[in-house]
Amino acid sequence: MTRGYPKTDMGQCGADFGREQGDAEEAILREACPEAATRLQNKICAAMAFGSFRIASRPAKFYLASANPHKAVELQALADAGRVPIEIVSAREVGGMPAVTEDAGTFEGNARKKAVALRSNAPSGSWVLADDSGLCVDALDGRPGVESAYYAGPQCDSAANLSKLVQALRDVPARRRGGYFVCVLFVAGPSGEELAFEGRCNGRLLDSPRGAGGFGYDPLFVPDGYESSFAELGEAVKNRVSHRARAWEKFAAWARQL
């Protein structure tokens, strides 16, 4: 946070200097070289007066409400690449992700339940980040939606989910095969803050899966503006246009202000 002062009162600046640099460090510097300490103090005061002095601080730490430790690594890579000054910490660091029944009925509601569940385990004063995402198909009244991860049943895998969706759309004409992916990133803050950042990616569903990349429903989904499925486009393109990328962009813009 940039601090600016309308007046260059040296007494006030001296107090600020002591607080920001540390009384012990200031005392040592003054004893060793009083003139250097005074010059440094004056430079800091002048910079603060013109709003150009930036206080160095540790990056905000976000505990990720996910049982997947690799997701924390992926999000940290996004943060580093976008120069977002935060640290993403796996739930494993606080004993693991508690079990959560995702029955809120909305993406935001499910993400909130995850964040609140982990917040009880995280250190006092911590930020918690959670997400929920899925695919909504127009011709199926928004399904699989919040049930995207277990569309074919709670014990089924992504291949079974994809197969069920292909069958559900078997007789649906091309003009009615629209849909969108949605992702909600939810933040629970140390003072009771709750914020949600939503990203969507509109597109259409193919008759049959195409491509070997990606995961989940990626082989069946073609984003608007493209002719290839997410599974064919590759990670570089997907990371620019996906629902998760768009939600992250909104979150990152907010996080940079911390």
Query: Which CATH number characterizes residue 189's domain?
Result: 3.90.950.10
Cβ-in-10-Å burial (0-12, 13-18, 19+) of 187 comes to buried
43 and 117 in a single domain? The answer is: no
Helix, strand, coil % over all residues of the chain, rounded to 5: 45, 20, 35
The pLDDT value recorded for residue 69 is 85
The count of domains in the chain is: 2
165 and 42 in a single domain? The answer is: no
Query: What is the pTM for the complete model shown?
Result: 0.76
- Which portions of the chain are predicted below pLDDT 50? 1-22, 25, 29, 52-56
Q: Is residue 76 part of a domain?
A: yes
H helix intervals, the chain:
10-21, 23-32, 34-49, 69-81, 107-119, 158-168, 230-233, 235-241, 243-255
The pLDDT value recorded for residue 21 is 43
Q: Are 60 and 258 in contact (CB under 8 A)?
A: yes
42 and 85 in a single domain? The answer is: no
Q: Report the C-alpha gap between 95 and 25 in whole angstroms.
A: 37
Both tokens of 238, joined, read 């997907």
Q: Is residue 1 part of a domain?
A: no
How far is Cα of residue 216 from the mean position of the Cα atoms in its chain?
Answer: 20
From the candidates 80, 132, 138, 157, which is the catalytic residue? 132
The pLDDT value recorded for residue 130 is 98
214 and 165 in a single domain? The answer is: yes
Q: Is residue 211 part of a domain?
A: yes
Q: Is residue 237 part of a domain?
A: yes
The pLDDT value recorded for residue 45 is 57
Q: Report the C-alpha gap between 184 and 167 in whole angstroms.
A: 28
Upstream peptide bond of 219 is cis (omega within 30 degrees of 0): no
The boundaries of the domain holding residue 26 are 10-49
Specify the amino acid at residue 34: P
Q: Dihedral, CA atoms, 91, 97, 101, 105, nearest 10 degrees? A: 0
Q: Is residue 131 part of a domain?
A: yes
119 and 38 in a single domain? The answer is: no
Q: What is the DSSP letter of 56?
A: -
235 and 127 in a single domain? The answer is: yes
Annotation marks residue 132 as catalytic: yes
